[in-house]
Amino acid sequence: MAELRRPDNMKRITTPELAKAFIDEQIAALRAQIGDRKVLLALSGGVDSSVVAALLIKAVGQQLTCVHVNHGLLRKGEPEQVIEVFRNQMKANLIYVDAVDRFLDNLAGVSDPETKRKIIGNEFIEVFAEEARKLDGVSLLAQGTIWPDILESEGGIKAHHNAGGLPDDLNFELVEPVRILFKDEVRIVGSELGLPDGMVYRQPFPGPGLGVRCVGAITRDRLEAVRESDAILREEFAKNGLAGKVWQYFTIVPDFRTTGIRDGQRSYDWPVVIRAVNTRDAMSATVEDVPFALLQHITDRITHEVAGVNRVLYDLTPKPTGTIEWE
């Protein structure tokens, strides 16, 4: 199973009927592989892990344990949505780990972007491994590996860690039910499995989450400013027909303050930077031409609704020279 390759003549899954056929086939394949064994899955709420979860719930129900680690760097409403969809609606066996303090304490005072990324990545593996060790008799690990991951790792573009770099004592057999799918196919399969559009058509979100958008050393108040301003931007883009059109859009809060004025008083608060870009493969990107009136409306909302913010900027930089994220 782990070595399964996409057949050269496989028809691209573009319709609900093709998605349904794939789902039926996969359910049979998953039942054959898993038998009566137990499976573990790190469920981030991203498209790939969500679709894997939904497939496994259909195939083996309570033999699946999902672990959702809240590292405090998720977007507004994301942990709640994972719990609502998987625990309440799909009746999955879901372990929710509130690791917010643990991550933020480890990140306190750390300003170097690569060090921040390493801390977040290592801590994630540690928290997940701790949860895995608490469970009895789990021998399988499900992963949301997709076909481009395999191609990229074979092409030497990016290392693809089997089992996410888990410690040696956790020796799992892998279950990879969307391994031969392209991203667009994963989305169609997800819709057919009944996942909400907000989960299936979600824009890309980096593993280190809002951590790379809270520039420099993360503080809880500035992280809240990132989260709240991002929620306003997403709401306004959705309302104004940009959510399905723009490839990636988010806010950044740099770690400096500037002078402003509010209610006749001097303020000394952070700026929020808006970034909205289009790209095919994220290697280069152009900036979305957001209507000026909408930018003004978003500015008005952010400066009045987000604590600690007195200014809004729009990032006009394509990639290159800027990367998409600020860190």
The set of residues, in sequence order, having a beta carbon less than 8 Å from that of 34 and lying 6+ positions away, is: 59, 60, 63, 140, 175
**Whose Cβ is closer to ligand XMP: residue 18's or residue 150's?**
150
CB atoms within 10 A of CB 45: 23
- Residue 325 makes contact with ligand XMP by CB under 6 A: yes
**The CA-based dihedral angle spanning residues 6, 11, 12, 13, taken in that order and rounded to the nearest 10 degrees:** -100
Q: Tell me the pairing of strands 248-252 and 265-278.
A: antiparallel
Among 206, 254, 260, 318, binds ligand XMP (CB under 6 A): 206
Q: Omega of the bond prior to 115 within 30 degrees of 0, cis?
A: no
| Nearest distance from C-beta of residue 123 to ligand XMP, angstroms | 14
Stretch that binds ligand XMP, among 139-147, 235-243, 258-266, 319-327 (CB under 6 A): 319-327
- Residue 318 makes contact with ligand XMP by CB under 6 A: no
- Residue 204 makes contact with ligand XMP by CB under 6 A: yes
Q: How far is CA 28 from CA 69, 77, 185, 297, in A?
A: 29, 34, 19, 51
Residue with tokens 């989450």: 209
**Sign of dihedral through CA atoms 169, 154, 31, 87?**
positive
Residues that bind ligand XMP (rule: CB under 6 A) add up to a total of 11
| Nearest distance from C-beta of residue 283 to ligand XMP, angstroms | 8
Question: Segment 223-282, which members bind ligand XMP (CB under 6 A)?
Answer: 248, 282
**Whose Cβ is closer to ligand XMP: residue 29's or residue 182's?**
182
| Nearest distance from C-beta of residue 18 to ligand XMP, angstroms | 27
**Sign of dihedral through CA atoms 297, 298, 300, 304?**
positive
| Nearest distance from C-beta of residue 245 to ligand XMP, angstroms | 16
Stretch that binds ligand XMP, among 49-57, 162-170, 187-195, 201-209 (CB under 6 A): 201-209
Helix, strand or coil, per DSSP, at residue 32 = helix
| Burial class, 14, CB count within 10 angstroms (exposed 0-12 / middle 13-18 / buried 19+) | exposed
| Nearest distance from C-beta of residue 206 to ligand XMP, angstroms | 3
Stretch that binds ligand XMP, among 3-11, 23-31, 178-186, 206-214 (CB under 6 A): 206-214
Among 140, 193, 290, 324, binds ligand XMP (CB under 6 A): 324
The order of strands in the sheet holding 138-142 is: 93-98, 64-70, 38-42, 138-142, 173-175
Residue with tokens 């038998």: 35
Contact status, residue 210 vs residue 100, Cβ threshold 8 Å:
no
- Residue 207 makes contact with ligand XMP by CB under 6 A: yes
| Nearest distance from C-beta of residue 282 to ligand XMP, angstroms | 4
- Residue 209 makes contact with ligand XMP by CB under 6 A: no
**Whose Cβ is closer to ligand XMP: residue 19's or residue 43's?**
43
**Whose Cβ is closer to ligand XMP: residue 33's or residue 44's?**
44
195-214 burial, b for 16+ CB within 10 Å, e for fewer? beeebbebeebbebbbbbbb
Stretch that binds ligand XMP, among 83-91, 103-111, 135-143, 200-208 (CB under 6 A): 200-208
Q: Which residues bind ligand XMP (CB under 6 A)?
A: 117, 204, 206-208, 248, 282, 319, 323-325
